[in-house]
Copies of this chain bind each other. A is one copy, B any other.
């Protein structure tokens, strides 16, 4: 792990790091915020997964999480949303390829060699954090994210309920199998056999028996992507059927941007802190 930058902020240190990933076969960059702490104190770890087009930097610059993370004593980890590089497969569209990893392990060409974001976020990066960030208490992890990253957070939490004690999302893609962004990406990363998509679809995972105790979602009511891509009512229906406690806040006048995320960031950090102890 190599340090790109560290900056003192809000009673902690915001770091940016790179490492050679064995699962994506690229250099991967990520951000870690560590609040000041007593010697040897361990702090809970909260993963933030970003949306389409974003790197680690978008939420680091615009998410406004440091003040409250410091107050609550939460480590915040922000991975990139895909492998990147000149020699890495890409697509001219913003919703496919670099910046659009969808937190899946691709099985199709040309993506399979690098686009292994499920394994990266679920396995490789947590192992690195456990080794390199002594403050990180890997027994207390939560996960959240935005849009495509909300999809990532929900599906990773649903597949790993023992590891993640808390999950929330801003404007998540809740049923990628049913919406244009998801159909395109899952089809091309995983092939057209829809049965292979279900472990990457929050609503399908719940239908198939995956469970978390509760979920917090904040969704802008003025979000341009609400009706076509996000469809939070599908998550509401799946949670109702499964007995999962979903807190779904529809936020009047709010759109899909970081202006919305930053507004409700404090609420989400408090949600996670209350469950991570």
* Bound-state Cα–Cα, A276 to B11, Å: 28
Taking a contact as CB atoms under 8 Å apart, the answer to whether B64 and A61 are in contact is no
Q: How far is the CA of A245 from the CA of B141 in the complex (A)?
A: 48
**Given A66-B262, A262-B66 in contact, is the A8-B255 Cβ separation under 8 Å?**
yes
Interface of A is mostly: mixed
Interface size on A, residues (CB 8 A): 23
Per-residue interface assignment for chain A, residues 56 to 80, with 1 indicating a CB less than 8 Å from any chain B CB and 0 otherwise = 0000011010110000000000000
Cα(A8)–Cα(B263), bound, Å: 9
B9, B254, B258: the one contacting A8 at CB < 8 Å is B254
Interface residues of A in 234-259 (CB under 8 A from B): 253-255, 257-259
Bound-state CA distance A132–B222 (Å) is 25
Per assembly, the copies of the chain total 2
Q: Are B260 and A9 in contact (CB under 8 A)?
A: yes
- CB < 8 Å neighbour of A259 from B8, B260, B263: B8
B62 touches A257 (CB 8 A): no
Closest Cβ of chain B: how far from A17's Cβ, in Å?
Answer: 16
Which residues of chain B have C-beta atoms less than 8 A from A7's C-beta? 255, 257, 259-260
Say yes or no for A166: interface residue by CB 8 A criterion: no
Q: Is A10 an interface residue (CB 8 A)?
A: yes
How far, in whole Å, are A253 and B67 apart by their CA atoms in the complex? 16
A11 to B260, CA, bound (A): 10
Q: Are A9 and B262 in contact (CB under 8 A)?
A: yes
Q: How far is the CB of A69 from chain B (nearest CB, A)?
A: 13
Given A66-B262, A67-B262, 8 more pairs with CB closer than 8 A: A7-B257, A7-B259, A8-B254, A9-B260, A61-B62, A62-B62, A64-B67, A64-B262
